[in-house]
Structure 1
Amino acid sequence: MIFPIVAFGDPVLKTKTQEIPRDFPDLKKLVADMYDTMYYAHGVGLAAPQIGKAIRLFVIDSAPMEDDEDEKGNPITPKPGLKRAFINPQIIAEEGEEWGFNEGCLSIPGIRENVYRKPVITIRYQDEDFNTFEEKFDGMTARVIQHEYDHLEGVLFTDHLSPLKKRLIKGRLTKISKGDVDADYRMKFFGMKGR
């Protein structure tokens, strides 16, 4: 099933999420549906709050983010992307010098801004069978994980912007929250029926 994406302005996007218990019903189906929803919307990550569920789950497929050229446009062998579901994740370390990248979000279509994040993370999480892992990730995969993890903490990429940048995009964010937005996927607006 493809879910509508929850738009900016819905309180679920600002809610700190709850841990998923082992007896959570149909978890594997939910994960599969989240991948279908993410791919349908041409995303590289999707967190449960973006489909209206305040639980600690996100999926990513960072392959489209891995470059196949260097800064001069010369072909290079791209790093393999990572396709994975993260259940009950906890980032336990972030390392390195912050670097900027122009981020966007399926819940905030049409707005992209530079966000600075550390390049290396260590994260503890569970898979769909509740096996626990602790792994280190870097580069674009680390960035995608950090962006989606923020959703589980009730943080949007716009929360990382300077006060000036926030003021400059405030009107556009208000329009999104009222349903005045063009997206090529179905969205759900707080207080309105989905379209």
Structure 2
Amino acid sequence: MLDDIEWRVAPAPVDYATALVEMEARASAVATGAARELIWLLEHPPVYTAGTSADSAELVDPRFPVVSAGRGGRYTYHGPGQRVGYVMLDLTKRGRDVRHFVHTLEGWIIAALGELDIAAFRAPGRIGIWTLDGGKEAKIGAIGVRVRRWITLHGFSVNLSPDLGHFGGIVPCGIADYGVTSAAALGKATDLATFDAALALHRNAFLETLSCSAENCA
């Protein structure tokens, strides 16, 4: 299964707008069979991205460039010390179930964070990946996806060691009542390579679960 999917790790930060163009082109090529599916791990220079539900009132202090992302969701921040993963997969091979895709993507990130000794979880009614920081729930990862012609775009971001103060320029994902945290804030491993290895360890399970619809995987 993995032989059909390219696993790419960017060696240096990639400009967000540049990555967006490349991702859109790759997804189109996947849809026509002209390119392999892709899981692309990267970092971005500091940027705020606006999803299709972004509310301008939640852009509190636009100290960094603001780019329209075309994904679902509201405002989020990307920057150094944050692992971003763009997932371009063909859901026509995997049941055409967007909700199942998002749930499985969340599970992959939660499993990878577990390898860093971070107990992460989903929170009903709240978008993203959560954990406890000082006994309080805080967001450690964001999920934002788009599906076009049954090809997935965008994906996830996980806070390893970003400057958490940079999130103060927005209301992250429109959720004002909870804070954000990071692996560094929790005293856990923060280097990208360690987290990438954790993702790689669980990617087979992610893909197997994704290919397993509710009908054929009781």
**TM-score, structure 2 length as denominator?**
0.28
- Higher strand content, 1 or 2: 2
Structure number with higher relative contact order (C-alpha < 8 Å, ≥ 6 residues apart): 1
**TM-score, structure 1 length as denominator?**
0.30
